[in-house]
Amino acid sequence: MINIHEVVETNEMIEKENLDVRTITLGISLLDCIDSDLDRLCDKIYNKIYETAKDLVKTGDQISREFGIPIVNKRISVTPIALVGGAACKTPSDFARIAATLDKVAKAVGVNFIGGYSALVSKGMTEADRLLIESIPEALSTTELVCSSINVGSTKTGINMDAVRLMGSIVKKTAEATKEADSLGCAKLVIFCNAPDDNPFMAGAFHGVTEADKIINVGVSGPGVVKTALEKVRGENFEVLCETIKKTAFKVTRVGQLVAQEASKRLGVPFGIIDLSLAPTPAIGDSVADILHEIGVEHAGAPGTTAALALLNDQVKKGGVMASSYVGGLSGAFIPVSEDQGMINAVEAGALSLEKLEAMTCVCSVGLDMIAIPGDTKDTTIAGIIADEMAIGMINQKTTAVRLIPVIGKGVGETVEFGGLLGYAPIMPVNQFSCDDFVNRGGRIPAPVHSFKN
Amino acid sequence: MNKTIITVVGKDTVGIIAKVCTYLADTSINILDISQTIVSGYFNMMMIVDMAGTDKQFNTVADELEALGKEIGVVIKCQKEEIFDSMHRL
């Protein structure tokens, strides 16, 4: 039988160390909504999402109540809209109407975000893909809960540099369109290489075409729990350090697995995957940078940071895979800047640069995330940063992503406040040298060779 | 069997166990195990109970126990056993 020390340990994790289930994300296929008439398409989308997701928030809250574990977000991901809207949408504004429909239904069912305003263009773009991408500034500035992601490259196909160049200017236009709100629209826009089909985390969640009609994916979190566990093994060697992270990740993931199974059972929707990511929030103690500090670097960004992050990421996976029957999504450690107080401190102390962050993304999940840059950064420079990050993903056969926020009207030294889970960020300097000739070449970078790995 | 873990945390005072047990008896909830310890100066009690015998909903019991806790000056939490099982048992 369970003993009192185990009960106290679990409840201390929840109450003092911010252990939570970060999100239950309900993936819904919209392929059966496709229609050549835009009004009918929007009606079908609204009805399908509403019917499938109407009990999601209530069920999540009830599970949270019964097990005493916070479930922070309930979200929806849908089939990439470029695929769904292709037959009905003839202009970018047509696509923006679908975004408005998604926003409306997300509000009606009470979820925090809806993801899947997406296009998968890793090799080439259809006309529908292009229209959807062009509609992003309008879609994200006229909706609140819609998140957009564009996959512009993969290890199997290479990088679509036409799409990368286009996204450089779309990020900038989205920033312009939402400049009244400190360019917040860009916080809802991610550019991917090797995007996973079953990611429960925003802003990059979409419901891949290889998925079932509906599916429950769960993202667990708990940087604070890992940090507290590591406080007890200060000065010990790497074996002890790794073992401690692994055991903690196991415990955290088991909670996610339980919540996922319960949600699946109660909603009558099959369970998809658990995403094992350590996702920080601006709350004090809920920080990946603090774990790196506890491992032994003064600030995130100091020499040793990449190695520390690599071992952290790997141990989280090792502990997590045994705890769950199905692991997927991104699974690793997120290193967003604005959502992590420790990262913000590191930037403010001058320890962490954009270039170091790029190096860190080689060994952990995702990529350059929630980084505020000066609003006058050129479109081509943004495209160049995207291309670099995509190349890391392509060559290393991993998911990488870029979520940059060029804050219109602000420059280096100023800060930008997004509020809530998105936090605040100091604006980071960007390398001023030009990559215009590189970005403007057009075409695509071929897929890499898959042997001769060194 | 419908096992729930009830935890009581707060400053030690006379009659905590008595009051909680009286409530459980009145609600037809069977106590399977009780243990207690002091963690950093605070009274910590854990009860494993079986809620199969009561017609009250989980939420109602949890709310009523929370209210009782406030009356006594302690924090009372109800959680289904599975969360502890999944975290601490293979």
Tokens standing for residue A445 = 């970078």
- A residues 220-259 lying closer than 8 A (beta carbon) to B: 251, 254-255, 257-258
d(CA A306, CA A226): 18
d(CA A49, CA A33): 10
Query: For residue A312, is pLDDT > 90?
Result: yes
pLDDT score of A185 = 95
* Pure H helices in A268-353: 288-295, 305-323, 341-348
Digit-coded pLDDT (tens) for A361-383: 999 878 899 999 999 999 999 99
Query: For residue A447, is pLDDT > 80?
Result: yes
How many CB atoms within 10 Å of residue B38? Answer: 9
Residues on chain A touching B85 (C-beta within 8 angstroms): 2
Digit-coded pLDDT (tens) for A340-350: 999 999 999 99
CA A253 to chain centre: 18
Digit-coded pLDDT (tens) for B23-62: 999 999 999 999 988 877 788 899 999 999 999 999 999 9
| Average pLDDT over every residue of A12-23 | 89
Which residue in the set A1, A3, A258 is minimally distant from B83, CB to CB?
A258
pLDDT score of A47 = 97
- Provide the number of CB pairs (under 8 Å) joining chain A to chain B: 64
- B residues 15-74 lying closer than 8 A (beta carbon) to A: 32-33, 35-37, 39, 44-46, 48, 58-59, 62
List of long-range contacts for A229-234, beta carbons under 8 Å, 24+ apart = A230/A291, A230/A294, A230/A295, A231/A294, A234/A294
Nearest CA in chain B to A252: B87
Digit-coded pLDDT (tens) for B8-24: 999 888 888 899 999 99
pLDDT score of B38 = 81
Q: Which of B75, B86, B89 is the best mutation test for A, with the most CBs of A within 10 A?
A: B86
Would the CB atoms of A4 and B44 count as touching at under 8 Å? yes
Query: For residue A453, is pLDDT > 80?
Result: no
pLDDT score of A450 = 83
| Average pLDDT over every residue of A237-258 | 94
Which residue in the set B58, B84, B86 is minimally distant from A7, CB to CB?
B84
Would the CB atoms of A65 and B59 count as touching at under 8 Å? yes
Q: What is the largest CA-CA distance in chain B?
A: 38
pLDDT score of A454 = 66
pLDDT score of A284 = 81
Smallest CA-to-CA distance from A22 within A182, A218, A205 is with A218
pLDDT score of A33 = 96
Q: How far is B61 from chain A (nearest CA, A)?
A: 11
Residues on chain A touching B38 (C-beta within 8 angstroms): none
pLDDT score of A42 = 97
Q: Are A380 and A171 in contact (CB under 8 A)?
A: no
- Mean pLDDT score of chain A: 93
Q: How far is B74 from chain A (nearest CA, A)?
A: 15
Task: Give me the sheet containing B74-80, strands edge to edge.
Answer: B30-39, B42-50, B3-10, B74-80
Residue A283's pLDDT band (cuts 50, 70, 90): confident
Task: End-to-end CA distance of chain B: give it in Å, rounded.
Answer: 20
| Average pLDDT over every residue of A118-122 | 97
d(CA A30, CA A329): 20
A206 residue type, one letter:
F
d(CA A88, CA A85): 5
Would the CB atoms of B62 and A5 count as touching at under 8 Å? no
* Pure H helices in A329-378: 341-348, 354-360
Higher per-residue confidence, A329 vs B57:
B57
Would the CB atoms of B79 and A6 count as touching at under 8 Å? no
Query: For residue B90, is pLDDT > 90?
Result: no
Nearest CA in chain A to B40: A8
Query: For residue A269, is pLDDT > 80?
Result: yes
Smallest CA-to-CA distance from A371 within A309, A431, A408, A416 is with A416
Nearest CA in chain B to A249: B87
| Average pLDDT over every residue of A49-66 | 95
Query: For residue A420, is pLDDT > 80?
Result: no
Check CB contact of A61 with chain B, cutoff 8 Å.
no
pLDDT score of B80 = 95
pLDDT score of A398 = 92
Would the CB atoms of B82 and A67 count as touching at under 8 Å? yes
Nearest CA in chain B to A13: B87
d(CA A190, CA B26): 56
d(CA A64, CA A446): 47
Check CB contact of A16 with chain B, cutoff 8 Å.
no
pLDDT score of B89 = 87
| Average pLDDT over every residue of A84-109 | 96
| Average pLDDT over every residue of B58-75 | 93
Position of tokens 């729990």?
A: A225
Would the CB atoms of B48 and A67 count as touching at under 8 Å? no
Q: How far is A221 from chain B (nearest CA, A)?
A: 14
Which residue in the set A4, A65, A254 is minimally distant from B62, CB to CB?
A65
d(CA A212, CA A269): 10
Asked if residue A203 has a cis previous peptide bond (ω within 30° of 0), the answer is yes
| φ and ψ at residue A421, rounded to 5 degrees | -65, -20
Query: For residue A332, is pLDDT > 90?
Result: no
Q: How far is A45 from chain B (nearest CA, A)?
A: 34
| Average pLDDT over every residue of A22-38 | 95
| Average pLDDT over every residue of A257-273 | 94
What percentage of chain A exceeds 90 in pLDDT? 82
